[in-house]
Amino acid sequence: MARYERFYDPRVLSRIGRFEVRARMVVEGVITGLHKSPYHGQSVEFADHRQYVPGDDPRHIDWKVYGRSERFVIKKFEEETNLRAHILLDCSESMRFGFGDDRLTKYDYGGTLGASLAYLLHRQHDSVGVTLFDSDVRRKVPVSNSRASLRWIGQAMDETEPREKTGILGAMKKIADSIPLRGLVAIISDLFAPRDEIAASLQEFAMRRHDIIVFHVLDETELTFPFEGNTLFRGLEDYPEVTADPRSLREAYVEAFESYLGEVERVCSSMGIDYYRCRTAEPMEAAIIAVIASRSKARRM
């Protein structure tokens, strides 16, 4: 098995394969629940060019431009049938955390969640791409519905090692500026950042009227702080090591963490953003099924 295939868990894919991800609002290229354009006229209209990158469909190369400049560029179209989905995966150092030998790290969990969502979107003939970020954009697989796109997505995730500090605001602004049309934006992150930066980062997409889903990935120990006896806590992202008795900290820690989680959820709600808390100890398909169930319910209302 190729290394990138580790993000495509057959058990997860078999459980979500019969479902469909629906857009919650009208975005360019899709009407809620239907793959049909809100625009009239030609079915596919030429929009612009962009640089060719591995994973792009070679059929969209503009050979006339290549003949003039010897540069490979891709024709960009406004497609009437496809939802354009952007999966943003946090690859900062804090995502390396995972407590216990039998538990996935937050990055592996988030990567598998993102790859599963990409598989589902691709299966329903939507266009999907992935951006990996920490304090900057580290890897990008362009939005595509080509057969090779899932392989490129898995390879990008596999070849990226979480090791840099989080800088969510700068990265989110850069990513938001690079998305020309409204679409579905799925953010997969532990949101290890100050609360005001989280709010400002989400606002970058909300003010552009994207359909936004936040998957907040957390390890069980971050929620319950179950440690006993003197414990050495090794810091990530330049935080120092600390030896402490967790029993004296547990109550204050849990209270502060729950306050933080509640505030993040309120920020998302105020912007009309779907928020899902994902625990790495729980089946990851549960988060995707929860999204689908929520959006199907909203459509019936």
Asked if 194 and 280 sit in the same domain, the reply is yes
In this prediction, residue 39 carries a pLDDT of: 38
Asked if 74 and 173 sit in the same domain, the reply is no
In the structure, what pLDDT confidence band is assigned to residue 30 with cuts at 50, 70 and 90? very low
Q: Is the pLDDT of residue 210 over 70?
A: yes
* Highest-pLDDT range among 55-69, 143-157, 230-244: 143-157
pLDDT above 70: percentage of residues in the chain: 75
In the structure, what pLDDT confidence band is assigned to residue 24 with cuts at 50, 70 and 90? low
Asked if 261 and 171 sit in the same domain, the reply is yes
Question: Which of 108 and 11 is assigned the larger pLDDT?
Answer: 108
In this prediction, residues 108-122 reach a mean pLDDT of 93
Question: Which of 3 and 264 is assigned the larger pLDDT?
Answer: 264
In the structure, what pLDDT confidence band is assigned to residue 25 with cuts at 50, 70 and 90? low
Lowest mean pLDDT among 117-126, 140-149, 176-185, 231-240: 231-240
Question: Which of 98 and 8 is assigned the larger pLDDT?
Answer: 8
Q: Is the pLDDT of residue 149 over 90?
A: yes
Q: Is the pLDDT of residue 240 over 70?
A: no
In this prediction, residues 37-51 reach a mean pLDDT of 50
How many domains does the chain divide into?
2
Residue 155 is part of a domain; what is its CATH number? 3.40.50.410
Question: Which of 110 and 254 is assigned the larger pLDDT?
Answer: 110
The dihedrals phi and psi of 293, each to the nearest 5 degrees, come to -65, -40
Q: Is the pLDDT of residue 26 over 80?
A: no
Strand partners, 235: none
Q: Is the pLDDT of residue 32 over 50?
A: no
Asked if 141 and 179 sit in the same domain, the reply is yes
Asked if 139 and 162 sit in the same domain, the reply is yes
The dihedrals phi and psi of 190, each to the nearest 5 degrees, come to -85, 0
Among 50, 79, 108, give the residue marking a domain's end. 79
In this prediction, residue 82 carries a pLDDT of: 65
Asked if 61 and 134 sit in the same domain, the reply is no
In this prediction, residue 255 carries a pLDDT of: 87
Asked if 50 and 183 sit in the same domain, the reply is no
Strands laid side by side in the 84-90 sheet: 137-144, 127-133, 84-90, 184-189, 211-218, 274-279
Supply 193's token pair.
């950042």
Q: Are 106 and 192 in contact (CB under 8 A)?
A: no
In this prediction, residue 91 carries a pLDDT of: 96
Asked if 74 and 98 sit in the same domain, the reply is no
3-class SS string, 199-231: HHHHHHHHCCCCEEEEEEEECHHHHHCCCCCCE
In this prediction, residues 84-106 reach a mean pLDDT of 87
In this prediction, residue 229 carries a pLDDT of: 57
In this prediction, residues 20-48 reach a mean pLDDT of 49
In this prediction, residues 225-234 reach a mean pLDDT of 58
Residues 279 and 274: their CA atoms lie apart, in Å, by: 17
Residues 29 and 240: their CA atoms lie apart, in Å, by: 48
Asked if 61 and 168 sit in the same domain, the reply is no
Asked if 22 and 67 sit in the same domain, the reply is no
Question: Which of 295 and 110 is assigned the larger pLDDT?
Answer: 110
Lowest mean pLDDT among 14-23, 43-52, 249-258: 43-52
pLDDT above 90: percentage of residues in the chain: 43
For residue 3, the number of C-alpha atoms closer than 13 Å in the C-beta half-sphere is 7
Q: Is the pLDDT of residue 224 over 90?
A: no
Which run of H or E residues covers position 151? helix 149-158
Residue 10: burial class (beta carbons within 10 Å; 0-12, 13-18, 19+): exposed
Asked if 118 and 267 sit in the same domain, the reply is yes
Question: Which of 92 and 243 is assigned the larger pLDDT?
Answer: 92
Residues 183 and 268: their CA atoms lie apart, in Å, by: 17
Domain range for 72: 40-79
pTM: 0.76
Asked if 218 and 169 sit in the same domain, the reply is yes
In this prediction, residue 139 carries a pLDDT of: 96
